[in-house]
A and B are shown apart, each in its own frame.
Chain A
Amino acid sequence: MIRDNSDVILAIQDLTAEVDGSPILKGLTLEIKAGEVHAIMGPNGSGKSTLSKILAGHPAYTVTGGSVTFRGENLLELEPEARAKAGLFLAFQYPLEIPGVSNLDFLRVAYNAKRKHEGLEELDAFDFDELVQSKLGLLQMDASFLSRSVNEGFSGGEKKRNEILQMALLEPKLAILDEIDSGLDIDALKIVANGVNELTTPDNAVLAITHYQRLLNYITPDYVHVMEDGRILTTGGKELALELEARGYSWVREEEEAIAR
């Protein structure tokens, strides 16, 4: 929901970044305010996941210019864990499997790191169990996923639900959802999207990266950005996504080029 007087949660200004010397982000500007839902669409390889991983602090990428301010702080100076504790969350396009680390232990350690950061007492195993059970219901997940290793052997859709389960526990100020819809069947898409909607409030924001309108049927964006070659090419409302679905990306490029001339 767009409100004029909302706080700015994320402000990206002219961001450039590279990996192994080759530039991927080429001057990207984006502002997200509390209460808003943004969607980024764009062709394969345009840099969407790169943007999300840079925001989360992945060490493989080097920021070469520009600035990122997250809730008033210089995000780029923070370690990945500090970014998370400041309220940034990334649901990965490809969530990692971590054999040997139980999902429940992982969730508890992550949850308690946040509690500690907020000056609250850590939850013991018993109380945490109760909390996590209540969140499982939101995503219609079976409790057996807790005793398994993190994402190990989870199906594509199960991994995505597990990402949103983490989001539900950590209650971030900004949730970046990188293709949260890929690999989900129709029912699971509804469940996951509903879960995300349940978690959105006027105080937080969502940045959903997707290729398809169908996710946006459930998670209604206030803004749709088209990203290409490391930049935001154009921005519109939710109807832009419908137009992209119908016409593809090339017309956007042509229009932008025409304007440039």
Chain B
Amino acid sequence: MSIQVSMVPDATETVNAPRVDRAAYLSRLVQLRGELDAAGSGLKDLRDRATALVQERAMPSTRAEEWRFTDLSPLLQESFQPVVPQPITAEAIIPFGLTDAPHRLVFVDGVYAPSLSTLGDLPPEVQLGNLSRVPGGIPHIGQHQGAEETFTALNTACMTDAAVIWVAQGQEWRTPIHLLVVTTTGAATLSHPRCVVIAEAGSQFTLIEEFVSLEGGGAAWVNRVTEIKLGAGATVNHTRVQRQGAHTFHIGKTAVSQARDSRYVATVLNWGAHLARHHLEIYQTGAQTATILNGLTLLQGEQLGDTHSLIAFTQPYGMANQVQKCIVGDRAHAVFNGKIWVPQAAQLTNASQLSRNLLLSPRARVDTKPQLEITADNVKCSHGATVSQLEEDEVFYLQSRGISAEMARQLLTFAFAAEVVDAIPLPTLRDRIRSELSLRLNPA
């Protein structure tokens, strides 16, 4: 099923734009990459293989089914330059502080910034930092299913370093870890931040991964890959916040593999960037595994926010519960494509997916498409999609009690978002998203 609500024509390639050779364009991006230093030297083979892959590819166009609603032409208009890492001050990132997440790792334009990071007192079982902190290298990097996808391969070909979060077996780490990925938007720059998260068997922790931009007008493009590996019985509560600046581009991948009895909870908030695409891919590799995905996308102006998710079951007794909500205003455009694969071996899978969309303006648009591929016969799978507007009668009911129309809209929109907002594990972040919501509703 596909629900499309739109009063504007389908996404087409930007008219009048000069024709760009999409293959040559992509190849050129690889030439912008930085040199490997000692810390990254273990990546050479991986980079070379990915480079070869990228050389065979082209920038996808809207003729490709996977990119049907997301036109990358605005990217093609930019002539991206390699990032020259800008030193930034600690003051510059104060607004992004989370008082309830004491361990903070900061990356600026893809480069680790130890002076801005506050790791705190950590036992050897909890490793935070970058690749140089892991003497033997990371065996898992670049090994996930789907790593050959074009933008993932581009990241692999170009990465020079990676954030590392490694929690050892049985370690139940209580204090949240904040990974802050900062973009300094001076000019049209391209960075490829990478992150590897390893939750060994029986470990537990909470991770906040946040993408922000510093003030500035540049069209920075962040091409992100985060790989998360959960060992047997591990629990990871992951909140991903994409709130980059208004002129930026964000293409991101979160690739998760889950061993048996593990539990992965993701709360994905997406309200920044001019054009954002997130691939959220979960591979359940062991039995009796639980995946909980909560997504909230807030768009206004001419923003485009696209979430492509995949939950791939392979073993019996898997569970997944996915809720994706989009609040779309002005002429913004939200896209959701939710794949769920349940092969023959994944008997007794229990999966549900719900896509709910709230349009705040007549020119807002949403394209939502659940895509369930089920071959196992003894499973419980459900999906649903709704598109709605604020009910004028509900607004009136609240007004008739003395509540202003603005406040009424805010209450109703909060109510729509509540299910996802309440899933955010940190109060500071919850408050931040609430004020972001009211800002969207009453742009003063």
Contacts and interface: CB of A to CB of B under 8 A. Distances in A.
A170 interface: yes
Interface in B378-420: 392-394, 396-405, 407, 411-412, 414-416, 418-419
A35 to B, nearest CB: 23
Contact of B399 (A57, A98, A117, A170): A57
A153 interface: no
A57 B400 contact: yes
A83 B418 CA distance: 30
Nearest to A97: B394
A106 B401 CA distance: 9
A57 B397 CA distance: 10
Given A58-B396, A96-B394, A84 B415 contact: no
A103 to B, nearest CB: 12
Contacts of B405: 79, 81
B396 A101 contact: no
Contacts of A109: 403, 407, 411
Given A98-B412, A98-B415, A106-B411, A81 B403 contact: yes
B403 A101 contact: no
Interface of B is mostly: helix
Give the size category of A's interface with B: 20 to 34
Given A96-B394, A98-B412, A106-B411, A80 B418 contact: no
B401 A166 contact: yes
A149 B416 CA distance: 12
Interface string B411-435: 1101110110000000000000000
A199 to B, nearest CB: 16
Interface in A83-135: 83-85, 89-90, 92, 95-96, 98-101, 105-106, 109-110, 113-114, 117
Contacts of B393: 96
Contact of A59 (B392, B398, B401): B392
A83 B396 CA distance: 12
Contacts of A149: 415
Interface in A158-174: 166, 170
Interface string A209-247: 000000000000000000000000000000000000000
B404 to A, nearest CB: 5
A68 to B, nearest CB: 16
A98 B394 contact: yes
Contact of B400 (A80, A114, A117): A80
Contacts of A99: 415
**Interface-centre pick from A81, A85, A100, A110 (highest chain B CB count, 10 A):** A81
Given A98-B412, A99-B415, A110 B394 contact: no
A252 to B, nearest CB: 31
Contacts of A58: 396
B196 to A, nearest CB: 38
A90 B396 CA distance: 12
A9 to B, nearest CB: 17
A10 interface: no
A57 B394 CA distance: 13
A81 B416 contact: no
Nearest to A151: B397
A177 interface: no
A28 interface: no
B402 A100 contact: no
A80 B399 contact: yes
A98 B397 contact: yes
Contacts of A96: 393-394, 397
B296 to A, nearest CB: 14
Contact of A100 (B392, B401, B404, B418): B418
Contact of A110 (B401, B412, B414, B416): B401
The 10 nearest A-B residue pairs measured at CB: A100-B415, A84-B402, A80-B399, A110-B401, A113-B402, A96-B397, A81-B399, A101-B415, A85-B402, A56-B400
9 contacts: A57-B399, A59-B396, A79-B399, A81-B400, A81-B404, A84-B400, A99-B415, A106-B401, A110-B401
Interface of A: 56-59, 79-81, 83-85, 89-90, 92, 95-96, 98-101, 105-106, 109-110, 113-114, 117, 149, 166, 170
Given A85-B402, A100-B415, 5 more contacts: A81-B403, A89-B400, A99-B415, A101-B411, A109-B403
